[in-house]
């Protein structure tokens, strides 16, 4: 069905009809008024993070299904709340839709959005639908809450703190390369079947990344308060540099300690890329990088899906990667922003 059949107001009503009731006590007023009204619980403060996803820049619909895009858009904003140690609670969503999108396309996109709302247990409190001349635009803002004084900033890392990383890195980037390769292959032949067998994990990491609320809950349950934390989004190297810069410290990370999945290694090998470089510079990981005082080492050792990848040094010692052979290389950001950064 053409969106013009419903109109912008009608499409908005259509989307809202398919949504669950709001779930949080803190959501006082959702989609029905000029603005949404939320009430942080007593003793909590409010976090806010916005993300803009543009067709052709942040996603390519030739190989990225709309449903997964809806999910990933929510993850992208929610991950920033979690990266501050906060619990995500509400989301606003604005869509710009060009004429090639039908109501059914929006329904598919919203399936992914709703999937993510349910997974992260958050309420959609703002929804704006607009036409667009230029493809699909998605703007999301996530609100979250954090107990007073419990926010995890980038700036608290201290010398001798341990550097910890959740999950593994580089998988989403290899998933993207696989999608791009199969897209190129697809462009060439008529009866083409994409070769995704044995690559399900890296595809899933690219297409349906899940922000690590589970790790935050584990940290809280164990009583571990990181001295600094950052959401790994642009790439481990880039985000490590951000954390070190904000904290005024240096760092050493061990090449062999960087967690990289075997599918990531396999795909990197196939493409003639160094798995370490892929792990350091791949984007869209949505993992957490955090630092803890040395005294909490045993507690972190007992955590699932967390690896100690290095330690914090004084700023003068720089931010360096220690190779398996023992040599050290200064870490330079080469993630998402590689092209721009080369000029810096």
Looking at residues 46 to 85 of the shown chain, list those that interact with a second copy (rule: CB under 8 A): 46-52, 54-58, 79-81, 83-84
Cα 236 to the center of its chain, rounded Å? 12
**Minimum CB distance to a second copy, residue 288 (Å):** 10
Cα 256 to the center of its chain, rounded Å? 24
Task: Note whether 139 and 94 are within 8 A (CB).
Answer: yes
Distance between CA atoms of residues 53 and 284, nearest Å: 13
Distance between CA atoms of residues 290 and 228, nearest Å: 5
Pick between residue 155 and residue 204 the one whose CB is nearest to a second copy. Answer: 155
Pick between residue 140 and residue 267 the one whose CB is nearest to a second copy. Answer: 140
User: Measuring CA to CA, how many Å separate 261 from each of 12, 168, 202?
Assistant: 41, 6, 9
CA angle centred on 232, ends 226 and 236, rounded to 5°: 105
User: Measuring CA to CA, how many Å separate 80 from each of 1, 36, 92, 196?
Assistant: 35, 20, 14, 30
**Minimum CB distance to a second copy, residue 12 (Å):** 10
Distance between CA atoms of residues 155 and 160, nearest Å: 15
**Minimum CB distance to a second copy, residue 126 (Å):** 5
Task: Tell me which of 86, 259, 275, 282 binds a second copy, using CB under 8 A.
Answer: 86
Pick between residue 83 and residue 250 the one whose CB is nearest to a second copy. Answer: 83
Interacting positions 206-235 with a second copy (CB under 8 A): 230-231
Report which DSSP code applies to 159.
T
User: Measuring CA to CA, how many Å separate 84 from each of 48, 88, 158?
Assistant: 10, 10, 17
Pick between residue 3 and residue 178 the one whose CB is nearest to a second copy. Answer: 3
**Minimum CB distance to a second copy, residue 61 (Å):** 13
Q: Looking at the chain, how many residues does it have?
A: 344
Query: 130: helix, coil or strand?
Result: strand
Interacting positions 6-25 with a second copy (CB under 8 A): 6-10
**Minimum CB distance to a second copy, residue 239 (Å):** 10
Q: What binding mask, one character per residue, do residues 284-323 give for a second copy by CB under 8 A, x or -?
A: ----------------------------------------
**Minimum CB distance to a second copy, residue 262 (Å):** 30
Interacting positions 91-130 with a second copy (CB under 8 A): 92-96, 125-126, 128, 130
Distance between CA atoms of residues 342 and 344, nearest Å: 6
Task: Note whether 204 and 210 are within 8 A (CB).
Answer: no
Task: Tell me which of 72, 114, 154, 212 binds a second copy, using CB under 8 A.
Answer: 154
Interacting positions 244-283 with a second copy (CB under 8 A): 246
Helices 213-222 & 66-82, crossing angle to 10 degrees?
A: 30
**Minimum CB distance to a second copy, residue 268 (Å):** 25
Pick between residue 112 and residue 144 the one whose CB is nearest to a second copy. Answer: 144
Pick between residue 34 and residue 197 the one whose CB is nearest to a second copy. Answer: 34
Pick between residue 28 and residue 185 the one whose CB is nearest to a second copy. Answer: 28
Task: Tell me which of 28, 62, 184, 294 binds a second copy, using CB under 8 A.
Answer: 28
Interacting positions 130-149 with a second copy (CB under 8 A): 130-135, 137, 139, 141-144, 146, 148
Q: What binding mask, one character per residue, do residues 30-49 give for a second copy by CB under 8 A, x or -?
A: --xxxxxxxxx----xxxxx
Task: Note whether 341 and 334 are within 8 A (CB).
Answer: yes
Task: Note whether 40 and 26 are within 8 A (CB).
Answer: yes
**Minimum CB distance to a second copy, residue 70 (Å):** 16
């Amino acid at each position: 069905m053409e969106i013009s059949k419903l109109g912008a107001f009608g499409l908005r009503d259509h989307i809202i009809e398919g949504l669950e009731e709001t779930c949080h006590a803190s959501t006082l007023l959702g989609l029905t008024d000029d603005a949404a009204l939320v009430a942080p619980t007593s003793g909590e403060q409010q976090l806010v993070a916005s993300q803009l996803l543009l067709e052709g820049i942040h996603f390519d619909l030739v190989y990225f299904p709309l449903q997964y895009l809806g999910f990933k858009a929510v993850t992208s904003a929610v991950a920033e709340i979690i990266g501050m140690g906060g619990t995500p609670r509400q989301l606003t969503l604005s869509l710009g839709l060009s004429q090639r999108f039908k109501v059914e396309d929006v329904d598919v996109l919203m399936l992914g959005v709703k999937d993510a709302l349910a997974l992260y247990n958050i309420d959609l409190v703002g929804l704006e639908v607009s036409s667009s001349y230029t493809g699909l635009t998605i703007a999301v803002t996530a609100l979250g809450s954090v107990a007073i004084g419990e926010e995890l900033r980038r700036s608290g890392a201290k010398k001798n703190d341990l550097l910890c990383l959740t999950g593994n890195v580089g998988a989403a980037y290899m998933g993207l390369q696989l999608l791009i390769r199969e897209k190129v292959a697809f462009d060439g032949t008529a009866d083409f079947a994409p070769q995704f067998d044995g690559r399900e994990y890296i595809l899933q990491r690219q297409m349906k990344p899940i922000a690590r609320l589970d790790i935050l809950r584990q940290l809280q349950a164990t009583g571990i308060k990181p001295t600094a934390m950052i959401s790994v989004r642009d790439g481990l190297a880039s985000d490590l540099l951000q954390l070190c810069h904000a904290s005024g410290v240096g760092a050493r990370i061990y090449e062999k300690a960087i967690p990289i999945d075997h599918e990531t290694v396999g795909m990197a090998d196939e493409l003639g890329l160094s798995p370490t470089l892929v792990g350091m510079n791949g984007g869209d990981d949505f993992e957490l990088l955090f630092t803890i005082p040395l005294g909490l080492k045993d507690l972190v050792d007992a955590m699932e899906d967390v690896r100690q990848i290095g330690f914090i040094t004084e700023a003068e010692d720089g931010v360096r990667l220690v190779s398996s052979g023992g040599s050290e290389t200064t870490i330079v950001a080469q993630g998402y922003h590689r092209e721009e950064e080369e000029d810096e």
